[in-house]
Chains A and B, each alone.
Chain A
Amino acid sequence: MAGLLDIVGGLLMVGGTAFLVFGGLGLVRMPDLFNRIHAGTKATTLGTLLTLAGAACLRPDWGWKLLLIAVFILSTNPLSAQVLARAAHRIGAAMSVKTRVDRLEEDQGA
């Protein structure tokens, strides 16, 4: 029962949740909203995918349903990030003082 697949599954889950922690850390440390969206979206997408893959290794009979959740996360996560980023820019969310260029602002001001 406690085969290699179980160990691989457990390691995948630990790796995945570690990326979730990086995402949370990015959310806390990043200087402005846009950079926080970066950290939040990318890290949680891969983190969740790895966690789901790990769960699929531990319970292969759940594989299809886990795949369905993975496909769903993969297609909706970047979309909600984009929608949030666009909304944030349109309401003029503050950008970090480190920001070097904003072509969108320039084009809309023109």
Chain B
Amino acid sequence: MAEALVSLAVLLAGLAFLLALWRFLAGPTAADRVVAFDVMTVIGISFIVILALLEGRGIYLDAALVYALLSFLGVIAVARYLERGY
């Protein structure tokens, strides 16, 4: 039962990722792509956590944490670049 639910969660997260990917590819502006990228990252964190569950490896959670940290810094950096051009 719980396994079936987790499998369903994987499917839903995959669908969400594809929707965000569509916006990432379609744009139309760079800012739209950054927003889509931000959303894809957060969905990616959910993916990593689900993967950690399925594989039973807690070390993946550290990867999720570092991924969250780096993508946050990345989004801030890109936003500053858009705003000021450096």
Tell me if chains A and B make direct contact, with any CB pair below 8 A. Answer: yes
Do B76 and A80 have beta carbons less than 8 Å apart?
A: yes
| Contact pattern, B 1-41, Cβ under 8 Å of A = 1, otherwise 0 | 11111101110110111111011000001011011101100
Q: Among the listed B1, B13, B62, which residue makes an inter-chain contact with A17, where contact means beta carbons less than 8 Å apart?
A: B13
The range of chain A's interface size is 35 or more
Judged by DSSP, the binding face of A is helix
* Bound CA–CA A16/B50 (angstroms): 12
Q: Which residue of B lies closest to A39 (CB)?
A: B39
Q: Which residues on B sit within 8 Å (CB–CB) of A68?
A: 65
For the complex, count residues of B whose C-beta is within 8 A of A.
49
Do A7 and B2 have beta carbons less than 8 Å apart?
A: yes
Please count the residue pairs between chain A and chain B whose beta carbons lie under 8 angstroms apart in the complex. 167
Judged by DSSP, the binding face of B is helix
Q: Among the listed B35, B61, B68, which residue makes an inter-chain contact with A27, where contact means beta carbons less than 8 Å apart?
A: B35
Do B6 and A10 have beta carbons less than 8 Å apart?
A: yes
Q: Which residues on B sit within 8 Å (CB–CB) of A90?
A: 83
* Bound CA–CA A77/B72 (angstroms): 8
* Bound CA–CA A91/B81 (angstroms): 11
Q: Among the listed B50, B58, B61, which residue makes an inter-chain contact with A69, where contact means beta carbons less than 8 Å apart?
A: B61
Do A72 and B65 have beta carbons less than 8 Å apart?
A: yes
Q: Among the listed B2, B19, B75, which residue makes an inter-chain contact with A28, where contact means beta carbons less than 8 Å apart?
A: B19
Q: Which residues on A sit within 8 Å (CB–CB) of B50?
A: 13, 51, 55
CB contacts under 8 Å to A, within B32-86, are 32, 34-36, 38-39, 42-43, 45-46, 49-50, 52-53, 58, 61-62, 64-65, 68-69, 72, 75-76, 79-80, 82-83
6 additional A-B pairs beyond A14-B8, A72-B65, beta carbons within 8 Å, are A45-B42, A47-B16, A59-B58, A80-B79, A84-B79, A86-B79
The 8 closest A-B pairs by CB, nearest first: A10-B5, A24-B19, A17-B12, A20-B16, A6-B2, A24-B16, A13-B9, A87-B83
